[in-house]
Amino acid sequence: MKATFRTPKTHKGWIGLFAILTIVLLGSWPVIPLLNHETIVFGMPILMTWSVILIFLTTGILMLLNKMGVND
């Protein structure tokens, strides 16, 4: 099977791609060292709090993209 990379064809598709890439970048290397401290927020270390926020952000973005009909 030939694997190909497909780019979005609609404006909504590009918005969806940008939103997902933003979430991935927020959870990767450039942000994590900034939050790797022993500071306690809501009873959890700040890095764990950030992880929980990312879970809610990802869920919210995917729900929004689903409502927009990006996957159609």
What is the chain's pLDDT, residue by residue, as a tens digit (72 residues)? Answer: 788 888 888 899 899 999 999 999 998 888 888 888 888 988 999 999 999 999 999 999 999 999 988 765
> What pLDDT sits at residue 30?
84
> What pLDDT sits at residue 72?
59
Q: How far apart are the C-alpha atoms of 12 and 46, rounded to whole Å?
A: 33
Closest residue by Cα to residue 40 from 26, 31, 50: 50
